[in-house]
Structure 1
Amino acid sequence: QIPSSIRMIVQMVIIASLVIVVDQILKAYAYGLSKQLSVFVGLIITNCIVMGRAEAFAMQNPPVLSFWDGIGNGLGYSVVLLTLGVIRELFGAGKLFGVEIIALAKDGGWYVPNGLLLLPPSAFFLIGLLIWALRTWRKEQVEKPAFRMAPQVVEKEAY
């Protein structure tokens, strides 16, 4: 196992290296997209969702298992980001990769794009809706409550 004193540093180096490789591939094959995403690709390096999960798993497992867990979580996180991106672009602009998918009303079609979906806060609402849909569909995804809330008012005081 990786010593705990350098574990976080090693994980950051590995994740940062992979993100830089992806960024370089984007610059080589999709320069326009790379230019639009440049600021955000760098933010992935310090993403706490992936880092927290990687740290929690790596603390109790050998490096090879931790590597594959990191790959799986990175791919899963990518699927979530791609799903959000597709939903936001499709219903926010009616396009995917600059190609019109839904005929817009201004061009004689039927769809009026929802510009709110293109704004950053919409991603949070969509993530909430995706979590709700997943947990409605797969009941085993719902966690048991860690505690119960105490009543706020004693019944005698309410009258």
Structure 2
Amino acid sequence: MKFLSQDPALKKLSLSNPIHFLALGFGSGLAAKAPGTFGTVAAIPLYLLISTLSLPVYIALTVLSVIAGIYICDKASKDMQVHDHGAIVWDEVAGLLITMIAAPAGWAWLVVGFVLFRIFDILKPWPIKWLDAKVHGGFGIMIDDVLAGIFALICLQGLYYLV
């Protein structure tokens, strides 16, 4: 896999720094192509780890990932001196966790949730695109993926009830 090692902004980060490590999605955001997709893939083991917990605990950890993500993404963005650099993918990690709230068990539903989240994150229908353009800082980096996760969650639950 090719990495973005030549990007000068990335040279300001270190995977040994816990904030940078999380912001880069455990290193997955360093992929040269589709870092957001790789960041979402990196969220799968975390999802599998916490999916066995009770729903209130899962939701609490997901909310914590969003709140912490505001700081994590803001700090990495400031350290890089670039707003919402593509390598910052903690927002994708949190977005997938949101998508999978109360998701039915099984790999098929995980794949459907993954695809739905990526569709909303990439296409950015209104108001996701508006938020992405107008809101800045760590909150701005996180909010469009939070909303994409909520849209994907609604669709996933809708599909489950239809099937």
The bucket for the TM-score relative to the shorter chain is 0.3 to 0.5
What TM-score do you get using the length of structure 2 for normalisation? 0.32
Between structure 1 and structure 2, the one with the greater Rg is: 1
Instruction: State the structure with bigger RCO (CA 8 A, min sep 6), 1 or 2.
Output: 2
